[in-house]
Structure formats: structure tokens, C-alpha cells
Chain A
Amino acid sequence: MNTRYLPANLVIGAILVVLTLGVALLSVFWTPYDYTQLDIVHKFQGPSAAHWLGTDQLGRDLLSQLMAGAGNSMAVAVTAVVLGGSIGTALGLLASAYGGWVEDIVMRLSDLSFAFPALLFAIMLAAAFGPSLPNVVVAIAFINVPIFARVARASANQIWTREYVFAARAAGLGKFAISRDHILPNIAAPIIVQATIEFALAILIEAALSYLGLGAQPPSPSWGRMLSEAQTLMYLAPQLAIYPGLSIVVAVLGFGLLGDGLRDVTDPRLSRER
């Protein structure tokens, strides 16, 4: 395995992800311009030395907006997936460790929330608490809980049958301690793979919600909102839709490929087939 080349999807995915995360991180400290700074006299400018990607309908620097949009997008995705993933994984471990009615409750609840369309839930939240990025985070985290609960439980169930777990139980360790010390480290790989894939979906959902006006509120920049604002400008300035669209493609594709690549590398069944 070590001597073989890393799979192409892993490499390409990693490059795109590093690029996106790098830009997102950079935007926290520096963007070429203040993305809220209007300069309406110079709207719809093409690329130039001053504005690398030109300016939008209000004369704001496009590159700065895209960078800050990346920051928002990544922040939402990271927070939501980490939050939803932790809760989901904990519930999955709980279900696997105790079985019986605990498992039934956790798994039926997760079936229930699975049946709930993610976007619908987010729209409901926005209607109840007003549109904002924190609500988007909560919505995405919520839909991630059952996903991680299932993955964690399925993987944990396999580990519970291993000899070293029997040994640990024979040694008198409690279920909580075993879950923490033995199960969790051994199901980390599938969880991380899942998280990477969910990341891509989280970026998409954030963009969709902001596109619908339920996510980032002006002047907070967001790829989705840039897309929706560019919609009536397609005739005048198609680049305003193309850039945020491409950014979403790069980010989603990056995390998607990285997730696939990681799974290829870590999943023993797949590696045997190579």
C-alpha cells in the first residue's frame, strides 16, 4: 500500500480542499478590499490590476467577496459538520454499546429525522427564528446527526465483536470506557470519511439556503447569495454568476473527491480489490 501511488481523486481532492480552506483562512486576515465597500461609479468592471476579477453590480471587489464567501461557507460547514457529527457519533456509540431499547430509540429517531428533507427543515428554522447563518448551522448539524449515528453504530457493532474488546470487558472495563478507549479510535476512519463527504453537502446546502435568502444576510458575503443576485444580471454581466458558481464547484468537488479518496485508502474491502 505504501509503495503504491495515492489515488488520483485523493490528490486532486486534497489540492482543491487545501486551496479552498487556504483562501477561507486568508480571508479572515486579509482580502484585497473591504468586501462591503461600495463604489457604484465603478460597477461591472472587468478584470484589472486593481480588481483581479472585476467588480459587481455595486462596485464591490469580486475577489474579496469570493474570498470572504469562502470564509463564511467553510465556517458554516466546519461548525455544522463537527457539531452534528459529534452528537451523531456519540448517539451511535451509545446505541451500539447498550443495544436493546436504547438502540431502538436512537435508531428510530434517526429514521424519523432522515425522512425529513434537509432544505425543508432549514426553511422551517428560518421561518421560526429568522434567516441567519447560525440557523443554517443548526439545520445542517441537525440533518447530520442521524447520518453519523448510523455510520458510528454500524462500525461500532463490528468492533464490539473483536477479541480485544472481549478482553477489555473481561478485564472489567465499563461500556463507556470501552467505547471511548477502544471503539471510537477504531471507527475514526469511516467517521472522517463521512465527515469529508458531509462537508461537501454542507457547502451545497449553505449555498442553497443563502440563494433562497435564508442564510447569510447582506452585507455578509455568501456564494449562494452572490448567485441569486447575479441571476437578473446574466445578460449584463454573466461573470457575476460564473465566479461564485465555480467556487461552489471547486469546494464541493474538492471535498467530494477527498472523501472518496480517503474511503478508497482506508476501506479494507476496496483496497483488497486493487
Chain B
Amino acid sequence: MVFTLKSPALLSCALALGVGLASSAVSAKSSVVIGMQQEPTTLDPTADATASIDGIMTHNVFQSLTSVTEDGKVIPDLARSWTISDDGKTYVFSLAQGVKYHDGTTFDANDVKFAFDRAMGKDSVNPSKKIFKPIESVNVVDDHTVEIKLKKPDAFFLFNMAKGDASIVAPESAENNKTNPVGTGPFRFDGWTRGDRLTLAKNPDFAGADSVAIDKVVYRFISDPAAATAALLAEEIDAFPGFPAPEILPQFEADPRFTVTVGSTEGEVILAMNNAKPPFNDIRVRRAISHALNRDEIIDGAMYGRATPIGSFYPPHGSAYVDLTGVYPHDVEKSKALLKEAGVEGASMTLRVPPFPYATRSAEIIQAELAQVGLDVKVENVEWGFWIGEIYKKQNYDMTIIAHTSPNDMGNFARGKKYFYGFEEPEFTALWEKIRAEADPAKRDELLKQGQRYLTDQAVHGFLFQLPKLGVYNKDLMGFWQSSPVLFQSMADISWSK
């Protein structure tokens, strides 16, 4: 009788196997099926903070002025070259010529102005409005030249211009990009079956189309790690660049059909606390929680040791990293004492967790760790749409666990009380403005170190670990990045070795 319980799983395994055999027979190795944990909420990277939108759309369907390589270097994209004035405030971009959108309209300098004005505008829903904040004006010099004036120098400007948030969209199609994205990239949007898959097809009009080896990219959305494993083993999917279950890696490592990579991402995993809400507006409570956390235990239990601990909000592979993991050592007594001092011993709180294994698994351990210091934590597992709506947009939460995968995102703490952190300290906001304006990398790193120390001192969140990039690939599939300095990687780089 126990088989009635498990039969749906068995059935889907059987189906998966059948589909896998069928598709691998048809494909002449010019298509690739990529497994992905998180389904996009919409298809417009300039409209929503969901990371998978950038993961699929950015630099595949949409292009930006610049792009970024695996080691974080900024390279030309729609902007073929640029000059920067001596005061660092005027950028002149000369744009690619003869580029067409997928709907046949022509790309020119007016599109850049339109796209940026739209992103900066009053009604803009852009999730990273802050990256446009330093822009004073965007001026069309001629059809293929754009001049961007900044209010003050911005060290991250060219890097930020590569992001999906800065995608160049056309006035003719921008409104419909949420469901029918139209860009200039190497792939055009081909279809989206919600809850299942999204398909991109090669854009034959793309300037570099000859060097694009893949004709068709299928993204399959599989949130359950066990189902993802089954799909990979059945060769139903060829690649899983963000594989969610570290415990299964040894199995793939032992299987000659697969290549396994472990790299880093820009994702700082934090136990976010709603700083605007009692008791988390009390620094003693936040510090108590930081003392209650045992990072080694969390990394060992939730990530099977495959993650690097962080003590602040900056990636350990970055040039300005300072190790602050020892500032709040795991200390139950100290934590209890701080809670007592703040008058919240034995308080109850909820921990709303998005549906990602790194989060749900950490939650279970954190719940037990906070129980040791007398805090009664109720874990609520929520859907991603709910998380974006209630927690990210409406700040309706006590605590949550989330990976912040954007690069250079320490500025999150300068976004004011309305951002879901509910954190605002003029001292940090001023510091962040200084960091942005500092052109000298050595001096900027010094300021970034200050920033890390400040955030740790304030114990704004529980800083847990850097999200690793675990990749499982068919061994004949070439070109996937081991580490991700950004949220996107163009599928134009991918090819089959045979």
C-alpha cells in the first residue's frame, strides 16, 4: 500500500525517462536543455527582481550597452566602444550599427535614451533604480552615439550598464516585454509554458550569429532537487548550472556522463531581519541572534560543507573582503543575556522561507539554534511569488532567508526604510555614496572594508554564507562558467564538443 503513496513519483520518473529518450533521439546536438530551480515571474528584466529573469533573458534575448566576462571584466556589447571624460562624469558610447530587434525594428541611439529614461522615470518599476541614480542626462548625439552625463563619478557605472536592469528595449515593444520579450540578442523568445519550460531560438539576424552554436535553448523549471536529479540522470536535461542539492554531487562526480563544477556566486545568503519592526529594531536583539547562529553547523548541515562562511555583506572572493566571521562567535549564554537585556526572552517570531533548498534547509537548523537561546521561531515555507509580493515588496515579515545574488549590492543597505531590510542609517548611506564616487580601486576597497565592518557592527542581518555555484553538466557540453560574477551568462558561449 505504501506504493500508492509513492506511485506519482515513480510515474513521473518513468515519464521523465520516456521524454528524455525521445528528445535525445531527435536533437542533433544543436539544442540544449537547461534545468533551472526558479521560474521567472515575468520576462522583463527591467521590471522585477527575480534572478531567473536575468538568468534567462539578459544577454540572450536582451542586450545592454556593456557585458561582463566570467572574471568580472566589462566588455563592449551594444556599445562597441566608449570614452570617459577626465572628470569621470561624461561617457560617450559609440553604438553597434545595423542591429535589428527581433520584431524587425532598428536599434539606434534613441532606444538607449528611451530605455534609460524609462528606467529612471517616475513610474519606473525597475528593481535596480539605484544604478541609474547617478545619471544626470542621456543625450542622443547622432543615431549611433550616445552621451551619458553623470552627477558624480560612479565606479560601478560601466559594470552596472551590463545588467539586465539596464537592458536596451525599444519603445515599440517595451510595454509587452513582460510576456513577449523583444530584444536585440543572439536568441529570440520562442515560448513559455508556465510551470514547465521556456524556449529560446537562435536569432539568425544577430551580428555574430555564425559563432552561435546552439539553435534552441530550452529552460526547464524544476524546483524539487530529487526531480532535478532524476531528470539529469535520465538525460532529460543537459545542464543544471545552479544545482540546488550539494548532497547529490558525489553521485554525479562518480558518473562519467557528467561534469561537476563548484564555483562561487555573488550571492550572500543572509538571515534577513525586518529592522523596521520590533524587536529587530533593537540592536541587542540582532546581535543576540547573530551570537545564536552557528555558521559551521548551518554550512555543514544545509550545504554539506560546500559554502564559505561570511561575516558581513561582501563576497569572500572580492578584493575588498575582510573576514568578520569571528565578530559574533556562537555563544548561547551571551545571546541569552542580550535578549534578557532587551527584554525579549522567549519571544515568538516567524521565519518566512522562500522555496529554495539553501533557504529551507538553513531554516530548520536556524530554528533549532534560536530555540537554544529561548526564541520560539515558527518556520513558514512560502512560494516565490508570495515572497516577492509580501516580503520583498510589502515588508510583511519578521525574518527570512535569502541569497542576494547581485554583484556590488552593498548599496542595498542604503536603500532606506522602504527597502525590505527596513534599515536606514545616514552614516552608512553617506559611506555608500563615497564608495560609489571613488574612482581609485585601492581607496574604494578601503571604503568597502569600512562598509563591511559597519554592517557587521550593526548586526543588520545574520550573515550566513556565500552561495556556491554548483553546476552539473553533460560532459560534452562546453562553455558554462564555473563562477558567476553576474546573474546572466549568454548561451551564445555554449557549444557541444561532439
User: What residues make up the interface of A, taking CB atoms closer than 8 Å to B?
Assistant: 36-38, 40-41, 43, 57-59, 130-131, 200, 204, 207-208, 211, 213, 217-219, 224, 231-233, 235-236, 245, 248-249, 252-253, 256
- Cα A168 to Cα B56 in complex, Å, equals 77
Contact B367 A218 (CB under 8 A): yes
- Cα A41 to Cα B245 in complex, Å, equals 19
Contacts of A43 in B (CB 8 A): 300-301
Q: A37-B368, A232-B247, A235-B248 are in contact. Are A248 and B229 (CB under 8 A)?
A: no
Contacts of B225 in A (CB 8 A): 231-232
Does residue B104 face the partner (Cβ distance < 8 Å to A)? no
- Count B-side interface residues using an 8 Å CB cutoff: 25
5 A-B pairs (CB sep. < 8 Å) = A41-B300, A59-B301, A211-B5, A218-B364, A253-B1
- Cα A24 to Cα B248 in complex, Å, equals 33
Contact B5 A58 (CB under 8 A): no
Contact B367 A219 (CB under 8 A): yes
Residue of B nearest to A218 (CB): B364
Contact with A along B283-325 (1 / 0, CB 8 A): 0000000000000010011000000000000000000000000
Residue from the list A57, A131, A213 in contact with B247, Cβ < 8 A: A57
Residue from the list B229, B245, B301, B379 in contact with A58, Cβ < 8 A: B301
Contacts of A204 in B (CB 8 A): 1-2, 4-5
Q: Tell me the chain B residues, 217-273 only, with Cβ under 8 Å from chain A.
A: 225-226, 229, 245, 247-248, 250-251
Contact B1 A249 (CB under 8 A): yes
Contact A252 B367 (CB under 8 A): no
Residue of A nearest to B226 (CB): A231
- Cα A65 to Cα B380 in complex, Å, equals 21
Does residue B381 face the partner (Cβ distance < 8 Å to A)? yes
Main secondary structure, interface of B, reads: helix
Contact B381 A38 (CB under 8 A): no
Contact B379 A57 (CB under 8 A): no
Does residue B344 face the partner (Cβ distance < 8 Å to A)? no
User: What residues make up the interface of B, taking CB atoms closer than 8 Å to A?
Assistant: 1-2, 4-5, 225-226, 229, 245, 247-248, 250-251, 297, 300-301, 363-365, 367-369, 371, 379-381
A218-B364, A233-B247 given; name 4 further pairs at CB < 8 Å.
A58-B365, A58-B368, A219-B368, A224-B5
Residue of A nearest to B301 (CB): A40
Contact A40 B5 (CB under 8 A): no
The 7 closest A-B pairs by CB, nearest first: A231-B226, A40-B301, A235-B251, A38-B368, A232-B245, A40-B297, A232-B225
Contact B2 A36 (CB under 8 A): no
Contact A249 B365 (CB under 8 A): no
Contact A236 B367 (CB under 8 A): no
Contact A252 B1 (CB under 8 A): yes
Residue of B nearest to A36 (CB): B368
Residue of B nearest to A44 (CB): B247
Contacts of B245 in A (CB 8 A): 232
Residue of A nearest to B230 (CB): A231
Contact A207 B368 (CB under 8 A): no
A5 to chain B, nearest CB (A): 26
- Cα A257 to Cα B230 in complex, Å, equals 35
- Cα A253 to Cα B379 in complex, Å, equals 33
Q: A219-B368, A249-B1, A249-B2 are in contact. Are A236 and B247 (CB under 8 A)?
A: yes
Contact A248 B301 (CB under 8 A): no
Residue from the list A38, A200, A245, A252 in contact with B297, Cβ < 8 A: A38
